[in-house]
Amino acid sequence: MNVTDVHVNRFPLDAEVVGIDDSGKGFRPAYVPDAIHNVQRRYRLDTRFGPVEVIQMTGIVARRLVSLVHLGEDHPKGDRLGMILLGSRVDLLLPVGFFRPAVKPGDHVWAGRSTVAVERS
């Protein structure tokens, strides 16, 4: 995400929050491979498709992750999950075989409006 983008992260599917874990250290640029070691927050979600993870990651400028949910809560697709102040990176890990990408690298997406993956028929 660019510093000028909206940094609210939303639920990709109807889900229950079954885990919120913090890890990593440091604030490398989010686009470099070594950024996988940056401070991050991993949301583990239980969905009708199986487990899904949303991972917020800090960057060189964006150093604050905000959670808007708690363990055990159920949320519909599109609800606010959290945000990253000043932008950085979000990874979405979906179960294999159930979805196909609806965007490609470099596409711009809008919080609460853009579909990033669609269910395979």
Q: What is the pTM of this model?
A: 0.75
The sign of the torsion formed by the CA atoms of 96, 67, 19, 79 equals negative
Residue 8 pLDDT > 90: no
Predicted confidence (pLDDT) at residue 6 exceeds the cutoff of 60: no
Going from N- to C-terminal start, the domains of the chain cover 8-115
The average pLDDT across 69-82 equals 96
15 three-class SS = strand
Q: What is the mean pLDDT of the chain?
A: 88
Q: Which residue has the higher pLDDT, 88 or 29?
A: 29
Pick the catalytic residue from 23, 67, 88, 114. Answer: 88
Is residue 88 part of the annotated active site? The answer reads yes
The pLDDT value given to residue 23: 96
